[in-house]
Amino acid sequence: MPSILFAAVLLLSGAVALSGAPPVDFNREVRPILSDNCFQCHGPDEKHRMAGVRLDTKEGAFAQTKRGALIVPGKAGNSLLFQRINHAEKGRRMPPPTADRNLNEKQIATVQRWIDEGAAWQTHWAFTAPQRPELPAVGAANPIDKFILARLAKEGLSPAPEADRRSLLRRLSLDLTGLPPVRQELEAFLADKSPDAYEKQVDRLLASPHYGERMAMDWLDVARYSDSHGYHIDSHRDMWPWRDWLIKAFNGNLSYDKFTLLQLAGDMLPG
């Protein structure tokens, strides 16, 4: 049984290597495995930490234990972490049976390949300063359009032809306010032959109070907001001030950093 399990892991790793896949990305591929399966007993909670092993920090993950190094860069077979998640005996395999979770062969192979590739550690993405990427050299004025056009070209695709003006205004209005344009708005746009006719419609819709209502919907949906309890009771609820604040924040063009800060720590901020 041990040889079969180890052989399966080796086959998975070899297949990835032969495919010319890029190196394993720690934040995207390895950290989620450790977070979901290991941090409960080997994470930041010191009271519940088992065997003194901590895997949520670089210092802890690369620490030397009485039984050996948890991670030996370039040598998964010598790494205690890999040995334990790949152990054939259930009583010694991690996570233990009592944890009611197991790493599948693909996850084990991912950890193994990451270690064999050098175990490059990355800080959590939330603490990594964003870097402005180099813009693709394609013919577009908007930076986002440059990336879209570059990807289309890579896939051998061409942009769709420009929509007719009726469709354009309808899409714009639905995107920004969630409402279709009324007849008068459509007629005014069709009659406007100025070069900035489209930009004027964008400004008009951004200035509409319906813009904030439309933009707030995604946040309200994620928070499962409702003005009533719905199917079983319809008693008084007091969450509506947050709903109104969201709408006002978008209509007032509140900066995104402040918008996020106020939602995460609003009642803890001074003043």
Query: How far is residue 50 from each of residues 45, 46, 64, 108, measured CA to CA in Å?
Result: 10, 9, 15, 21
d(CA 103, CA 17): 21
Task: Tell me, yes or no, if the pTM score tops 0.85.
Answer: no
Tokens of 170: 């309808």
d(CA 90, CA 100): 12
pLDDT of amino acid 228 = 79
Q: Render each residue's pLDDT in the chain as its tens digit; 271 residues.
A: 444 444 544 555 554 544 567 999 999 999 999 999 999 999 999 998 999 999 999 999 999 999 999 999 999 999 999 999 999 888 889 998 888 888 999 999 999 999 999 999 999 888 888 889 999 999 888 999 999 999 999 999 999 999 999 999 999 999 999 999 999 999 999 999 999 999 999 999 999 999 999 999 999 999 999 887 766 666 777 889 999 999 999 999 999 999 999 988 877 888 6
d(CA 72, CA 270): 47
Place of tokens 């400004």: 203
The answer to whether residues 49 and 41 touch, using CB atoms and an 8 Å cutoff, is yes
